[in-house]
Amino acid sequence: MAKKLKEKAKKVAYISVPSQIINSLSSSSLQSLLHSPKKASSSRKNSFIYFIIAPLLRNSKLWCFALFFFGLVGMLINLTHPLLLPFSTTRPCPNDLPVDHQQQQLQLIGFGSENISGDGVSVSISSSSSNVSQSSSFWEQPDGLGYRPCLGLTREYQRATESMLKERSKKYLLVVVAGGMNQQRNQIVDAVVIARILEATLVVPILQVNVIWGDESEFSDIFDLEHFKAVLANDVRVVSSLPSTHIMTRPVKEKRTPLHASPQWIRSRYLKRLNREGVLLLRGLDSRLSKDLPSDLQKLRCKVAFHALRFSPTIMGLGNKIADRMSSKGPYIALHLRMEKDVWVRTGCLPGLSPEYDEMISSERTRRPELLTARSNMTSHERKLAGLCPLNAVEVARLLKALGAPKGARIFWAGGDPLGGLEALDPITKEFPYLFNKHDLALPGELEPYEKKASFMAAIDVIVAERSDVFMPSHGGNMGHAIQGHRAYAGHKKYITPNKRHMLPYFLDDSLPEAEFNRIIKELHSESLGQPELRSSKAGRDVTKYPIPECMCNHTSSHSTV
């Protein structure tokens, strides 16, 4: 018995203390906790605490009840504490707040406070578990059917390349690309293909200053120029400027290439004059080159779009930081919201925010009818029922909810300022409170140098959207088309195409039970989730949006990747 007591006395006793409490203690406080002075047993037994604790220690059931009671009280206090409420639907932008307040807001939306600094180097993530259900079927990816990139070129193309690169270049193609960043990307793709058709050297495309945003960015500000040249080295020779022998040459100018221009048309139109003058200047290339090209040229288009046109290191670095912050708590949705004032005017649709805003858009359209790009013989209601209008915030929220998006899903939204301000997004934040854009996620000063560079900001949106687990546009457009192609080429990541024409009648039916509404919406979108789709199944499709069959092969086809 004495031996057992002696061994028992040698055992070390441990105190279980939550890590949060330990982190908040100074070293002196911690020492006092671990080495508190012993008290006389008589004083302990005479204390009030002894008479409360002793019965609990002797009665295990009473002890468990006490633990449950105090745990319940603590939980209720946490639930009502204002600092633990979800991110406010008023969505204050962190950059508009003092640094201390901003750090508190970053903690509320799921980021830890350690290493939060203005240099944007890193953001430590809090250890709390994600509020997104990882097992939700909403996050399941479509079956890619084994399709992978394959850009194997024919022997004829390779022989032509060898012959072209051996000769001293005498023909140069100058191209001026206009519009937004995603429009410019499309035109650069076409410029490379046209240079190949004409066997000309491509001078780095000139980005026209945008009259709306005043963005004076050059090619190398947005894209990685050296990477662009290296990837295309065996397809098209690319130079940064005209050689001195051609600077004084009067170029052949073409302001507008016709729609669906074929390789045969391009050769017959330009080749003779280009051989004579040495320089060809093209403008207005937007979607002018035929979408139905020989297989080798289709592969070249994919090579430019998916491999050569990489964003500059500065953009990639910042874009990936913001995407990392978005993905740090698990899967996320990316939305491209087309709710700007000019979009409502150009599409001939009404935003449905209020009678005042509808009147504003109608008046603007009446005053400037040339802005209307949709069919003018249809009313706004007819356009909506035909699926020609962007989804508003109410419809976006209902669609995501019907498709099974968890309420705690984190959502990144890209796009310009919506008509009506951020309050126009309230229907989304009501259903999905974790809604952010790049300004919400950026640290103080991170985006400030680029606020007036629309192409830079658009590229950040593209990077974060491409890395999302689920992407959905509220309306068609160049950005949505580009991301659809990239997600297909990456293995068919989930891409929701809203079936607006068929789903809107159900949106207008208030008598439909929610469960039945959700079933119908899911059924309507069962084949619109980014599954493999053949470009050749419909005329006029762009291979950079539908890369099968020219640029992707499955296990039954031969594989040849870049």
Give 177's strand partners. Answer: 207
Average pLDDT score over residue span 228-256:
87
The whole-angstrom separation of Cα 356 and Cα 359 is 5
- Out of 46-50, 462-466, 499-503, 513-517, least confident range: 46-50
Average pLDDT score over residue span 323-349:
95
Q: What are the φ and ψ backbone dihedral angles of 292, each rounded to 5 degrees?
A: -105, 90
- Out of 166-180, 262-276, 292-306, least confident range: 166-180
Q: What are the φ and ψ backbone dihedral angles of 252, each rounded to 5 degrees?
A: -75, 125
- Out of 145-149, 345-349, 390-394, 399-403, least confident range: 345-349
- CB burial readout 81-112, b (16+ within 10 A) else e: eeeeeebeeebeebeeeeeeebbebbeebbbb
- Out of 99-108, 113-122, 155-164, 435-444, least confident range: 113-122
- SS3 assignment for 347-389: HCCCCCCCHHHHHHHHHHHHHCHHHCCCCCCCCHHHHHHCCCC
pLDDT band, very low/low/confident/very high, at 123 (cuts 50, 70, 90): very low
Helix axes 60-80, 48-58, angle to 10 degrees: 110
Q: Which of 163, 166, 190 is nearest to 176 (CA)?
A: 190
Average pLDDT score over residue span 445-455:
94
Task: Please measure the distance between the N-terminal and C-terminal CA atoms of the chain and give it in whole angstroms.
Answer: 78
Question: What is the Cα 463 distance to its own chain's centre?
Answer: 6
Q: What integer pLDDT is reported at residue 129 of this predicted model?
A: 35
Q: What integer pLDDT is reported at residue 64 of this predicted model?
A: 55
Q: What integer pLDDT is reported at residue 62 of this predicted model?
A: 56
Please say if the pLDDT value at position 389 is more than 90. yes
Do residues 280 and 274 touch, judged by C-beta distance below 8 A? yes
The whole-angstrom separation of Cα 331 and Cα 327 is 6
Q: What integer pLDDT is reported at residue 285 of this predicted model?
A: 87
The whole-angstrom separation of Cα 330 and Cα 131 is 9
Q: Which of 99, 485, 174, 549 is nearest to 304 (CA)?
A: 485
Do residues 299 and 151 touch, judged by C-beta distance below 8 A? yes
Coil, strand or helix: which one is 495? strand
pLDDT band, very low/low/confident/very high, at 556 (cuts 50, 70, 90): low
Tokens in use for 152?
């194997």
Q: For 32-41, write each residue's pLDDT tens digit.
A: 333 434 434 4
Q: What integer pLDDT is reported at residue 67 of this predicted model?
A: 60
Do residues 400 and 433 touch, judged by C-beta distance below 8 A? no
Average pLDDT score over residue span 368-380:
80
Please say if the pLDDT value at position 66 is more than 80. no
DSSP letter assigned to residue 413: E
Instruction: Summarize the chain as % helix, strand, coil (round to 5).
Output: 50, 10, 45
Question: What is the Cα 408 distance to its own chain's centre?
Answer: 18
Helix (H) or strand (E) holding 335: strand 332-336
Q: What integer pLDDT is reported at residue 425 of this predicted model?
A: 97
Do residues 494 and 530 touch, judged by C-beta distance below 8 A? yes
The whole-angstrom separation of Cα 165 and Cα 234 is 8
Q: What integer pLDDT is reported at residue 69 of this predicted model?
A: 60
pLDDT band, very low/low/confident/very high, at 74 (cuts 50, 70, 90): low
Q: Give the CB-side neighbour count of residue 278, counting CA atoms within 13 A.
A: 12
pLDDT band, very low/low/confident/very high, at 369 (cuts 50, 70, 90): confident
Please say if the pLDDT value at position 115 is more than 60. no
Q: What integer pLDDT is reported at residue 63 of this predicted model?
A: 56
Please say if the pLDDT value at position 124 is more than 90. no
Do residues 409 and 396 touch, judged by C-beta distance below 8 A? no
Please say if the pLDDT value at position 555 is more than 90. no
Q: What integer pLDDT is reported at residue 52 of this predicted model?
A: 47
The proportion of the chain whose per-residue pLDDT surpasses 90, expressed as a percent, equals: 61
Task: Give residue 432's region: left, alpha or beta (phi > 0; psi -120 to 50).
Answer: beta
Please say if the pLDDT value at position 235 is more than 60. yes
Please say if the pLDDT value at position 153 is more than 80. yes
Q: What is the pTM of this model?
A: 0.76
Give 410's strand partners. Answer: 332
